[in-house]
Structure 1
Amino acid sequence: MKAVLGDTVIAEAPREDLISIEGNWYFPPAGVHQELLVESPTPYTCPWKGECQYFTVQVGGDRFADRAWSYPHPYPSGIERVGKDFSGYVAFWKEIRVID
């Protein structure tokens, strides 16, 4: 599967390596083009997943604030709920499409 913005692939991994959480596909860290992401200062803590790290996605000269996020250190109860460790996995929204 791929996360794409226009013609730019931001993340890519086989479907079996992704994790689906609440309708969002989370890509493993190794499949994400980290050079396209810049850490955002936007704070958020999910009551069951833990502290979130948002990212601004940069493609060409365009910046898309908070369009990617990750849980670097999810709560153990969140990992148990999901059934797999999703530490550092990255999800996307809005303009970034996830396709097969």
Structure 2
Amino acid sequence: MQAVFEGTVIANADDADVVVVEGDRYFPPTSITEGVLQAGSTSDSPSGQGERQSYAIRVGEQDHEDLAWAHLHPSAEAVERAGVDFSGYVAFAPAVTVREGVVPQEGALP
């Protein structure tokens, strides 16, 4: 599975490693492309999932605010609903395209 914004791959993970929580697909921290996320503010999640860290996505020299987020310490209820601890996993706003299926090899065209 890939998360792509403006032609830049933001995250790349096997489908089985991506966690779905309340319709959002959360990518493991190790799948995030280095240097593309810039930490923003933190706030309480309106869905009761715990404190939420927002991120801007940096493409070239431009930051696109609030297009990604992670729950660094999800609530026990959120972890129970997900069936797995998704601490630090990153989800993306609808402006980011998520492609399901086989992840292309590094260097291959998407």
State the TM-score, normalizing by the size of structure 2. Answer: 0.83
Q: 1:77 Cα deviation (Å)? A: 1.8
Partner residue, 1:98: 98
The question of whether the paired residues in 2 share the 8 Å contact of 1:53 and 1:72 is answered with: yes
- 1:45 and 2:45 aligned: yes
Q: Specify the SS of the correspondent of 1:43.
A: strand
* Paired residues for 1:1-100 under 5 Å: 1-41=1-41, 43-100=43-100
Aligned length: 100
Alignment deviations for residues 16-66 of structure 1 (CA, whole Å, 9 cap, x no partner): 000111221100010012411111125333342100000011011222101
Question: What one-letter code is carried by the residue in structure 2 that aligns with 1:64?
Answer: H
Partner residue, 2:107: none
Runs of 5+ unmatched residues, structure 2: 101-110
State the TM-score, normalizing by the size of structure 1. Answer: 0.91
Q: Percent of pairs identical after alignment? A: 39
The question of whether the paired residues in 2 share the 8 Å contact of 1:49 and 1:71 is answered with: yes
**Compared with structure 1, are the counterparts of its residues 76 and 42 closer, same or farther at alpha carbon in structure 2 (3 Å cutoff)?**
closer
Tell me which stretches of 4 or more aligned residues in structure 1 moved more than 3 Å: none
Question: What one-letter code is carried by the residue in structure 1 that aligns with 2:88?
Answer: G
